[in-house]
Amino acid sequence: MSQEGIIEEIVVDQETLTVTDREGNVYETGKETEVSIYDIPNLNLEGVTVDIRPAGIDWGGILIRFLPLLLIGGLLIFFFSQARGAQSQAMNFGRSKARKFSAVKPSVTFSNVAGADEAKEDMQEIVEFLSTREKFHVLGAKVPKGVLLLGPPGTGKTLLAKAIAGEAKVPFFSISGSEFVEMFVGVGASRVRDLFEQAKLDAPSLIFIDEIDAIGRQRGAGVGGGHDEREQTLNQILVEMDGFDTSTNVIIIAATNRPDILDSALLRPGRFDRRIILDMPDINGRKEIFKIHASDKPLAKDVDIEAVAKQTTGFSGADLANLVNEAAILAARRDKKEISMAEVEESVDRVLAGPEKKSRRISTREKEIIAYHEAGHALVARMLPNSDPVHKISVVARGMSLGHTRQLPTEDRYIETASQYRDRLATLMGGRLAEEIIFNELSTGASNDIKVATNLANKMVTQYGMSAKLGPRTFGERQDMIFLGREVTENRDYGNRIANAIDDEVNAIIGEAYETARRILIANHKRLMHISNLLMTREGLEGDELDRAFNEPLNGKK
């Protein structure tokens, strides 16, 4: 485009601009610059010929116009490349995540596992199966394919499996059930395939699947969707196990603390038909476990392991390991060279009820209420023939509870009687009643006692058949629904009439316990005051002091 005339300013956004003046001098400006005509020397604006060539591509304009599109496109590309990355990751997921333990330098052996002698023997047998399979084969004996390790949490299932890895001189593959169930559908099953493939190649070998309940739950029992993946994984395990022939020298060990929710197909003969049960340790087991965990720590001479074992009924192996560690931490914090009984005892309480809350301020009034409350528990327990001896009373807050009264059974118990339960209920009521008698006022401090008591009374009626009125039968089928966040659901298998009767019985049992406690506390009013007063000053009573508190004569009658 050519143009003649007077120009004041030309904004250049073209490729080039050429200006020719009258003398025929040609001025050219660079592209994409803003140029004022006045910048051109000797420019006579009359009769200037401006030659503007057709506009080039306006990159800036295009950029602005298409920016949104570009952004979207860029994002798409970004996502696409991410997805591709994930895909290749998914390929890796398919490969088994199982860790292979070499049997050369075992970190854990059977000697690290205490108290579980029977389980250890059973495990030893499995090791033998692997190494001398022929011997059994010749006699026509079927060697188990799968072994299920059962037991409550912290009883050493994982530990025992690790020990086997150390003891058996064969390759050991370990994977946890939850590792199977990850993100991508279809991967669990392929992982199983891969794992078994590897194990068979390296036979004789062991496969350990920890926490198998994560995949081995009853099929079709899930609430809502999303359990397909698990089912596929489980099915694949079953397929693989069925695929073993007599010459396949691979044994699978699985561990769970929820055998009740395992799919029955897993438990069928020819699969996990061997069970090894790990129980909570008894008093000797606890002694041994304590010794093992204390073996690498300096213990003072005053640590009485027998006494520790006595005080830790209901502790699992993991609790005991934790106890020893807590004691060591306490000793270190106190700049001690050795762990003494004081630290061990304090740690028992810590493990039982969480760390001592030093920072919490309790008013004198509160402390008084707590003192009477705990004294009430202790006194009722002391006076009843079938309750466990009181070991310690304290008004120091620990964990959730404000004060605590600790009773210890004289021996480990496997069955409990209705009389023991009744005395326990009365003891539970003792706290609340002491408050009521002394202050004529109810507090929230007893809420946990009441909850525990209600639960217990309810169990007596509906599960243990301890109610004379309702007779020896159970009511309601209880089920732990793991999918509903471990909530306990109850299937009512009785009508309203029975429901009312159950309520009445629970009320009657608790009412009776309440009366028992009231009788005792009223008859021992002075003693109650005495113990509470002692508690106010000492904060805690145990041992001889506690005995004296119960027995020393009071200047008065009772």
Q: Is 430 in the site for Zn ion (CB under 5 A)?
A: no
Residue 382 neighbours by CB distance under 10 Å: 21
| Binding partner selected for residue 289 from Zn ion, ligand ADP, Mg ion, none, CB under the kind-specific 5 to 8 Å limit | ligand ADP
Q: Is 376 in the site for Zn ion (CB under 5 A)?
A: no
**Tokens coding 58:** 């306006």
At position 73, the amino acid (one-letter code) is G
Q: Is 176 in the site for ligand ADP (CB under 6 A)?
A: no
- 341-349, 418-426, 431-439, 543-551 -> range binding Zn ion (CB under 5 A): 431-439
From candidates 214, 237, 252, 289, binder to ligand ADP by CB under 6 A: 289
Q: Are 427 and 384 in contact (CB under 8 A)?
A: yes
Site string for ligand ADP, 65-104 (x = CB under 6 A): ----------------------------------------
At position 373, the amino acid (one-letter code) is H
Q: Are 432 and 449 in contact (CB under 8 A)?
A: yes
Separation CA 413–CA 460 (nearest Å): 17
Taking the complex as a whole, the smallest distance from the CB of residue 351 to Mg ion amounts, in Å, to: 18
| Binding partner selected for residue 351 from ligand ADP, Mg ion, Zn ion, none, CB under the kind-specific 5 to 8 Å limit | none
Give whichever of 188 and 285 is closer to ligand ADP, judged by the CB atom: 285
Q: Is 154 in the site for ligand ADP (CB under 6 A)?
A: yes
- 5-13, 91-99, 157-165, 413-421 -> range binding ligand ADP (CB under 6 A): 157-165
Residues 6 or more apart from 490 whose CB is under 8 A from it? 476, 477, 478, 479
Cα-to-chain-centroid distance, residue 182? 18
From candidates 449, 513, 520, 549, binder to Zn ion by CB under 5 A: 449
> Between the CA of residue 81 and those of 47, 88, 183, 426, what are the distances in Å?
60, 11, 19, 69
Taking the complex as a whole, the smallest distance from the CB of residue 547 to ligand ADP amounts, in Å, to: 35
Separation CA 269–CA 250 (nearest Å): 17
Point out the catalytic residue in the list 179, 374, 435, 505: 374
In sign, the C-alpha dihedral spanning 243, 244, 250, 256 is: positive
Q: Is 146 in the site for Zn ion (CB under 5 A)?
A: no
Beta strands 172-176; 34-36: pairing state: unpaired
374 in active site = yes
| Binding partner selected for residue 321 from Zn ion, Mg ion, ligand ADP, none, CB under the kind-specific 5 to 8 Å limit | ligand ADP
Identify which of 197, 231, 199 has the alpha carbon closest to the alpha carbon of residue 214.
Answer: 231
From candidates 292, 369, 453, 461, binder to ligand ADP by CB under 6 A: 292
What is the C-alpha end-to-end distance of the chain, expressed in Å?
123
Site string for ligand ADP, 316-345 (x = CB under 6 A): -xx--x------------------------
Taking the complex as a whole, the smallest distance from the CB of residue 302 to ligand ADP amounts, in Å, to: 23
Separation CA 211–CA 175 (nearest Å): 9
Which residues form the interface with Zn ion (CB under 5 A)? 431, 449
Q: Hey, which residues are catalytic here?
A: 374
